[in-house]
Amino acid sequence: MQSIKFRNRDMAWDIAALILLPLDFDEAKKYPALVSVHPFGSCKEQTSSKVYGAALAKEGFVVIAYDASYQGASGGEPRWVEDPTQRVEDISHVIDYAVTLPYVDADRIGVVGICGGGGYALNATLTEKRIKAVVGVTPVNIGRLFREGFSGYNPIGALEAMAAQRTKEARGNELQVNELLPASPEAAKDAGLVERDVWEATDYYKTPRGQQPGGWTRMLFSHAQNTLAWDALAFTEMLMTQPMMVVIGGKPGAFGAYRDGMEAYGRSTASKDRQLVLLDDWSHYDIYDRPEPVALALDRMVPFLKRHLAA
C-alpha cells in the first residue's frame, strides 16, 4: 500500500490517497483500477480501503482510496465541508490521476462507493464515462437524507438556519461544526438514540471497531446548503448506461440505503447490466465490515467487476 498526495490543474489543494496494489504486482503490466469512495463523515482508512479496497486489490485490481476534499488528510478550507458537487468532482480528479499511472489501464476503470460514497459513485457514473462499471455498497442519496431526516423533515427551516449562520460567520463569529453522532454507544443509549442506523453508526465510528483519526463524523453546518438541492439519482434513467450494481441490506434503517439502493436499481433502465444484491439478514453498518455480509457482497461484486473490467 502506498500513501500519496496529488493535485491536477483544476484543483487548489492536494488530494490524499492510498494506492492498494495486487499481491503479484508488476509495474510492467497494465491493471484494471477501482476508485474507492468513502462514506459521509468517514475517511480513506476506514471501510473504503481497509475492507473493500484491500479485498479488491487481492482480486487483481489497483485500488485508489482517497479522502474527500475538505476532509481527512486532503486539502481544502474551511474544513469538514460536505459538498456533493465537489465530492463527485473528486472522483473525476482521482481518475485524472489514475490515468497517468503507467500500470493502470485507462480503459478499465471502475468505481466502488460505500454509504454516501455509494451515492456519489452512482452520480459520478452518470456523466463520467471513463467509468466502465460502478458498485454502490449500501448507497445513500445524501441530498434526500438532508431534505428529510437530517433536517427534521423541514428543509426550508434548515436552509434558513444555514443562511443565518453563514452571515454570522462572515461577520467574524465562530464556525458551527456539527458532530453527526453521539460520542459513544453509551452516550447514544443515554440519549435514547437507539434507532438502528444511528446506533450502529455510533458503534462503528466511535469505537475501536472503525474509529480513525481522519474519520471525524463532522460537518460544517453553514456550508451545507447545496446538499439539500442535490439528488444523486437525477437523470438516472437517461444517463446510467454503464454496468451498475447496488448492494443493500434487508434490515432498513433511518439513513435510507435500502430505499435509495432500490430506487437506483429501479431507475437504471438504460444500464448495460444492472444488478441488485439484497443481503436479507444484514443492516447498513453490518455491510461496512462484518465478515459474513462483506464476504457475501464480494461474492457478487468481484465477478461483476472482473466481467466488465476484464481483470
Q: Can you give the CATH number for the domain in which 28 is found?
A: 3.40.50.1820
The answer to whether 39 touches 46, Cβ cutoff 8 Å, is: yes
Domain count, the chain: 1
> Residue 53 falls within a domain, yes or no?
yes
> Residue 52 falls within a domain, yes or no?
yes
- Residue 306's nearest CA partner among 1, 94, 61 is 61
Extract the residue ranges of the chain whose pLDDT is less than 70.
311
Nearest-angstrom CA–CA distance, 281 and 276: 15
> Residue 226 falls within a domain, yes or no?
no
Q: What's residue 311's pLDDT?
A: 59
> Residue 7 falls within a domain, yes or no?
yes
| Domain region containing 291 | 2-145+231-309
90-140, pLDDT tens digit by residue? 999 999 999 999 999 999 999 999 999 999 999 999 999 999 999 999 999
- The CB-side HSE value for 27 (13 A sphere, CA atoms) comes to 2
> Residue 51 falls within a domain, yes or no?
yes
How is residue 170 written as a grid cell? 462572515
> Residue 265 falls within a domain, yes or no?
yes
Nearest-angstrom CA–CA distance, 180 and 44: 18
> Residue 176 falls within a domain, yes or no?
no
The answer to whether 285 touches 204, Cβ cutoff 8 Å, is: yes
> Residue 219 falls within a domain, yes or no?
no
Predicted structure pTM score: 0.97
